[in-house]
């Protein structure tokens, strides 16, 4: 049986299997397509001792779990970033802590100082900040993230001194 025949014979079965694992049709279709891509790349390793359908289901299951872990990791990263944003805002709402942040910003190296200020005080998008520097929005996002981490570390150190 050539790969095209395998694809036609089992695509729907693999798709239905994925739909049993996820309610999102697009994710099920995406993982099904990725499953067949992986199967095509490793068809030379398939020895025919197992059922082709079982082999495809194993690839699909592993692909699904990899996708799920990646989604969980990304969700955790977003959640951690949002919590950091909330902490910065809380610091800025306290007059004394806001002054400490401004004092630290005054000494902070570029481009962190300006990117942080443009994002927080200028309320510019990462795209606009990137344009100002002739860089990408990804660069602006990473630079802001690093500046925010530096400020949070500084503020935590200040709190530890006061304790």
**pLDDT value at residue 155:** 83
**pLDDT value at residue 163:** 52
Q: Report percent pLDDT > 90 for the chain.
A: 21
Tally: H helices and E strands in the chain = 7, 0
Give per-residue pLDDT as tens, 17-36: 888 888 888 999 999 999 99
Assess whether pLDDT exceeds 70 at residue 102.
yes
Give per-residue pLDDT as tens, 38-48: 998 888 777 77
Count other Cβ atoms within 10 Å, centred on residue 21.
16
**pLDDT value at residue 35:** 92
**This prediction's pTM:** 0.47
| Cα angle for residues 101, 84, 150 (degrees, 5° grid) | 45
Average pLDDT, the chain: 84
Give per-residue pLDDT as tens, 56-83: 988 998 998 888 888 776 666 666 666 7
Alpha-carbon dihedral sign for residues 49, 53, 56, 57: negative
**pLDDT value at residue 76:** 62
Q: What share of the chain is helix, strand, coil (3-state, %, to 5)?
A: 85, 0, 15
Give per-residue pLDDT as tens, 104-124: 888 889 999 899 888 888 888
DSSP annotation of 121 = T
List of domains in the chain = 3-75 (1.10.1740.10), 94-162 (1.10.10.10)
**pLDDT value at residue 78:** 64
Average pLDDT over residues 82-95: 72
């Amino acid at each position: 049986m050539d790969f095209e025949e395998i694809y036609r014979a089992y695509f729907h079965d693999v798709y239905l299997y994925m739909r049993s694992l996820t309610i999102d049709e697009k994710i099920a279709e995406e993982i099904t397509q990725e499953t067949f891509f992986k199967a095509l790349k490793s068809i030379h390793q398939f020895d025919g001792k197992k059922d082709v359908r079982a082999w495809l289901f194993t690839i699909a299951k592993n692909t699904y779990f990899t996708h799920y872990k990646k989604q969980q990791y990304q969700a955790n990263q977003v959640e951690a970033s949002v919590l950091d944003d909330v902490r910065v805002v809380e610091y800025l709402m306290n007059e004394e802590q806001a002054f400490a942040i401004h004092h630290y910003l005054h000494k902070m190296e570029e481009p962190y100082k300006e990117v942080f200020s443009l994002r927080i005080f200028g309320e510019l998008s990462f795209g606009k900040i990137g344009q100002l520097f002739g860089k990408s929005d990804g660069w602006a996002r990473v630079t802001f993230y690093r500046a925010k981490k530096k400020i949070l570390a500084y503020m935590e150190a200040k709190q530890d001194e006061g304790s």
